[in-house]
C-alpha cells in the first residue's frame, strides 16, 4: 500500500493520527499541497476530486476520503478499535464523527478557505463574509459538545475513537482559521488538553 499524504492539512492528518494510534507503518508519497501537488496529473488520476489523502492498495485500487481509508485500515488492523466494538458502538462513533465533520470541521475549514490570504488562489471566489459567518457556527457546536463532555471522557463515549481524532484536528485548525479557542468551555478544554498530549497527536 501507498499513502499519498498531504502533510498537516486536516484530512491527511486525520489518517496520520489514526495510523499512529494503531502503530501501522505504510509507505508514504508526500504531496506538497502548497505547490498545488494535489492537482497534479498523478493525483488526479487517483482521485478526480484532487483531494488528499489517497490510499493506493496493492491491487491498484485507490481509496480517497479520510473516513473510508480509516474504515479499510480498521478492518485490516482491528486493534485498538477506533471505530467501535459492536453494532451499537460503531453507530455511536459514526454519529459523533459525522456531527463533528458537518458542524465543526466544515465550519472551521470554510472560515479558513474564505478568510486566509494563502487560500485566495484555491477558493475562487473567496467570500470573506461567508468565512466570518462560519466562525460562530464552530463555536456554537463546541458549546454543545461542552455539555456532552460533562459526563464522559471522550467524544463518543469512554474510549478514544476516530471521533476524537476528527475533533482534535478541527480544533487545531481553528488557529489558522482565525477562530479563538473556547478557553471558557472547561469540559472541551479538559478533553482537548488530554487528547493533544497523546503521542499520536505529537508526531502527526
Give the pLDDT confidence score for residue 204 in this predicted structure.
60
Percent of the chain as helix, strand, coil, to the nearest 5: 55, 10, 35
Task: Give the end of a domain, one of 17, 51, 76.
Answer: 76
Is residue 81 domain-resident?
no
Q: Note down the domain range covering 93.
A: 87-203
Say yes or no: 96 and 195 in one domain: yes
Mean pLDDT of 138-160: 97
Q: Report whether pLDDT(5) > 90.
A: yes
Say yes or no: 99 and 178 in one domain: yes
Say yes or no: 162 and 197 in one domain: yes
Task: Give the end of a domain, one of 55, 76, 97.
Answer: 76
Say yes or no: 112 and 193 in one domain: yes
Percent of the chain with pLDDT over 70: 100
Give the pLDDT confidence score for residue 34 in this predicted structure.
85
Say yes or no: 70 and 94 in one domain: no
Say yes or no: 117 and 176 in one domain: yes
Mean pLDDT of 124-142: 95
Give the pLDDT confidence score for residue 100 in this predicted structure.
98
Residue 64 phi, psi (nearest 5): -120, 175
What gap in Å lies between CA 79 and CA 10, rounded to an integer?
24
Amino acid at each position: 500500500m501507498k499513502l499519498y499524504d498531504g502533510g498537516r492539512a486536516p484530512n491527511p492528518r486525520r489518517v496520520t493520527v489514526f495510523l499512529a494510534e494503531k502503530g501501522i507503518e505504510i509507505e508514504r508519497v508526500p504531496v506538497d499541497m502548497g505547490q498545488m501537488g494535489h492537482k497534479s496529473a498523478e493525483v488526479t488520476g487517483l482521485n478526480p476530486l484532487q483531494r488528499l489523502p489517497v490510499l493506493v492498495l496493492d491491487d491498484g485500487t485507490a481509496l480517497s476520503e479520510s473516513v473510508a481509508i480509516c474504515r479499510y485500515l480498521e478492518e485490516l488492523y482491528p486493534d485498538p478499535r477506533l471505530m467501535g466494538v459492536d453494532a451499537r458502538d460503531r453507530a455511536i462513533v459514526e454519529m459523533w464523527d459525522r456531527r463533528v465533520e458537518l458542524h465543526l470541521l466544515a465550519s472551521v475549514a470554510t472560515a479558513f478557505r474564505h478568510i486566509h490570504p494563502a487560500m485566495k488562489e484555491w477558493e475562487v471566489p473567496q467570500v470573506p463574509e461567508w468565512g466570518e459567518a462560519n466562525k460562530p457556527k464552530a463555536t456554537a457546536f463546541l458549546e454543545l459538545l461542552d455539555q456532552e463532555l460533562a459526563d464522559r471522557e471522550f467524544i463518543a463515549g469512554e474510549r478514544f475513537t476516530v471521533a476524537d481524532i476528527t475533533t482534535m484536528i478541527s480544533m487545531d485548525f481553528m488557529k489558522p482559521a482565525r477562530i479563538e479557542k473556547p478557553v471558557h468551555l472547561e469540559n472541551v478544554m479538559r478533553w482537548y488538553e488530554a487528547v493533544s498530549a497523546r503521542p499520536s497527536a505529537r508526531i502527526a
